[in-house]
Structure 1
Amino acid sequence: MSALRLLAFSYLAAASVFTLTGAVQSHPEFLRDFSARADRLSDRFAQKVLDPALERLRRHDVALLDSLDHRHQPVVRLAIRPLIPGEERLLVTRPSAPVAPRTLAPADSLMAESDFAPSGIIEILPDLPDDLPEPPEPKLAAPRMPRAPAPDIRIAKSPENRAPQKQAAPAWRIPEPPLPDAPSGPRAMAASMRLKAGLSQDMLNNFDLFLYVSKAASGPLAQRMYVFKKTPGNTLTLAYDWAASTGREKSETNARGRPSFTATPAGYYQLDPERMYRRYRSYSWDQPMPNAMFFNWERRGLQTGLAIHAASGKNIAKLGTRNSAGCIHLSPENAEVLQTLIRANYRGQVPRFAYNTATRTMSNKGALMHGRDGNLRMADGYRVLILIEDYGGKDMVAALF
């Protein structure tokens, strides 16, 4: 082949490739159609040619293996000569060994070989004569007395060590408010004034129980919870004045080794009706949380772990100071009273707080959600509003005296 002809063929091949590439770039559907047609062609080839050929090959292998298995097996053929007229055919049988006689043992012997003892011999005595005198009636040597009951022995406790007995109240009865643990006249009045100043008319109309908590480190109102009931006329009446503990307000490491800032954020909160527990244990801090009532507050798409619950262990003696990981601590008795009161009396429709879809965070600034018609958006919950403030009340209480 001359160099000129080789050069011509190379030029034609390059031109064909270039043309094909341009056509594919201009019309990508050609490549997709070509791929689809190639797939269909390969499937049809497999169904029509490849699969039948493989099946025939498999049958051929099976037939070959079967022929090899039967080729070396010996075949035995027995030919029986036909009988001659008048001839009898005798069958030779081998006599079997004689069977030795077996003597059956008596019943007692059979029983003796087992785990039971042999039966005893019963002697039948003759009948008694008819003229035998009647035997006297048997009498007890001593009358049978009933067994004396075991003595009831109780160890008396000394008066100074005797624990006071607490009478259990019925499950349906709401406990009466305990006596305040400190005089709360001016302090309660200051808390009531502070609470009313922070409530909107919508809040006052749609909630029936209000919990005011001061997270301040010092002051007359500091580290206490004030429980107000709404009476007719939207009047707030103090029901309870309790010592509490809020967050320690410092950076710490929890029980799982993760850094955490133990703060109780100020703001407005509702209770989560699906997360109220008589017994609960914190996973992050590995601490018990009796009578826990969690807040219905979503932050960055996650439900908060903040709750109101009973203090336990050494934390009970520290009520009235900042001593929690962020929750609100109460004494065990007061936490039980509060949860029982709320569960029994305050379930109903409540307004929802505003929600920011961009940050996936629920407002804790007091903003309520309204519909396009201007009405409040309501949801099932507890008609209880919690207001937490960093306010000690020194100036207000001093002005009330």
Structure 2
Amino acid sequence: MNIIDELSWRGLINQQSDEEGLRKLVDEKAISLYCGMDPTGDSMHIGHLLPFMTLERFAKAGHHPYIVIGGATGSIGDPSGKKAERPMQTMDQVNHNVEALSNQANKIFSNFTMVNNYDWTHQIGILDFLRDYGKLFNVNTMLNKEIISSRLEVGISFTEFTYQILQSLDFLTLYRQHNVQLQVGGGDQWGNLTAGLDLIHKAEGQDAKVYALTIPLLLKADGTKFGKTAGGAVWLDPKKTSPYEFYQFWFNQDDKDVINLLKKFTFLSKEEIDKLADAVKTAPEKRLAQKTLAEEVTKFVHGEEALKTAEKITEVLFSGEIQELTTEEVAEAFHGVPSEEISSDPINLVDLLIAVNVDKSKRQAREDIQNGAIRINGERLTDTTTEIDPKDSFDGKYIVIRRGKKKYFLAKIN
């Protein structure tokens, strides 16, 4: 299957500058292509996965992907999709984010080439910038780009106005130095991508074979934007979103969304995904499609060992056998649950529930204990006089409290 046909089947194509031209090009030879990422934070989130996994698909088809880390563009701010100016980061913060993102991307996408657009922009003087590049951009054309026109009512600084010139310079530089012929980006980047095509054609000639392709905004079946949770973004940094939380995010996807997500976020074949689609219809209670999705994406981002740990934690929490977890696994499993710090001194069970905010009153705590609603480290306790020694569990660092069937709390021992 031609890579363009595969992307189309997976629903990964929004806009193309020249569909037939690109299709012919990738049939004729292996090409170089790229996608950019600005260092607005020190970790990627799952919103970054879609374009970069698209590049990975090109790589598996024999092509050569580049990731451009925006050390230059990230220092001025992309106006796309923003209602107001982004707060300017210090260069120290930009450089910190560049290093963190580069290390993260290299671990996940080990066969990509990583470059930083600061390397080819920081020595360009203002006069050279205006004469060599600014002269090739028509202000009227720039104003008509959606990324700019959407901001005119509230205002846009000259700094952000020039963003598309810098991004276009990325494409031109990569074309000249590495024969990069395709830029991939999100749907909101179409104006920036086409500006890059225009610059190359003006600088190198209309016969330059360069192309742009955007990926659609990913929506859930109910029309809401995919990728956010009640707690915010789902990060690829395991310190921000643990592999267990990451696994659970994918496992908890709705039946209406899971097949679409399998197409976009896994490398499973059409035949494999069709079988999972049948399983959703015939045995939805088994959640085989969701389990496969969680396994595939977690393994791709965090590796085999992290996947095994996430699956173990999932099984243990389902069975309630908390004592089977290691101290490190407890920290991962209960990363986001309500927690309080307590001392290492032995504590009465009722007082423990109050200290960790499991219950608001001693009367309620006693009732919960006597009714069998309280489990400490997996063990149901019904005696209100029980003394808990924090040093007895999980290397003296944690006490796991469960109230009812699903409500967990964590006592951290200081």
More helix by proportion, 1 or 2?
2
Q: Taking structure 1 as the reference length, what is the TM-score of the superposition?
A: 0.22
Structure with larger Rg: 1
Q: Taking structure 2 as the reference length, what is the TM-score of the superposition?
A: 0.21
